[in-house]
Amino acid sequence: MDNNIKNWDDIYSANKAGCFMNYPNDNFVTLFFQNKKHINTSGKCLDYGFGSANNSEFLLQHMGELFGIEISKSCLEIANKRLSKFTNYHPDNFFIDGDNKCFNGCFDLVVAWQMLYYNDKAGLNSSIDKLFNYLKVNGILICTLITPKDVKVKHSTMVDKDTYLIDKRIPHQEGCMVFSPKTDKDFIKLFARFEIVDHGYYERASFLFENTTSEYYLVAKKHD
């Protein structure tokens, strides 16, 4: 996991692999609006693993107050440069993981988009428990994990059950560890503490194998 942190700081600091996204993820935006009736949009939101802050920019315009957590210090600079134009952006709300204040029971919405799978099983379970605790009762989690069809699994070596180490065929992520549940049932089991609102998968198949992406998605509620 230390290697994951090092790799991602290198990726974002050098703007490798097109990591700076100009727009919010379209699948995320669709899920947000499809499930808007479940979300207290005047409340607090956490963008967990905000990366290039592309989804953060969207969330600032649709939630009452936004917070962010990342493992890469370079992302703080990216977020500040990108989001400072918004009057409801507060740089003190953005943290490096481990440096954040106690967030338990704070958030109406937690978004962990395209990042939780950069984990081993223990790290993933710990992150899911953390996000559950961060939510208020009836708060909503929106997140993704990769499926076994994703290029990051295909271009990797298995090191443990459902756990892979990305190889040199994805040079900007070589050495990163990822976790991919084999089936949708395995995926849902990881979120047993939540009430499932919606789940499924998104897939973009390419005739160029290296461009294929495949991800489970989840919308879930913290129940009483």
* pLDDT tens-digit readout, 139-149: 999 999 999 99
Query: Which pLDDT band, with edges at 50, 70 and 90, does 13 fall under?
Result: low
Q: Which domains does the chain have, with CATH numbers?
A: 2-14+24-221 (3.40.50.150)
Kindly state the average pLDDT of the residues 200-209. Answer: 87
What share of the chain in percent tops pLDDT 90?
74
Contacts of 136 (CB under 8 A, 6+ apart): 43, 105, 106, 107, 108, 222
Residue 102 has what pLDDT? 83
Backbone φ, ψ for residue 123 (5° rounding): -65, -40
> Which token pair is 74?
């370079």
pTM above 0.85, yes or no: yes
pLDDT of residue 110: 98
What mean pLDDT comes out for the span 95-116?
88
> Is residue 224 over pLDDT 80?
no
User: Residue 39 pLDDT > 70, yes or no?
Assistant: yes
Q: Judging by DSSP bridges, how do beta strands 135-146 and 107-112 pair with one another?
A: parallel
Structure confidence at residue 172 (pLDDT): 79
Q: What is the DSSP letter of 50?
A: -
Whether the per-residue pLDDT at 50 is higher than 70: the answer is yes
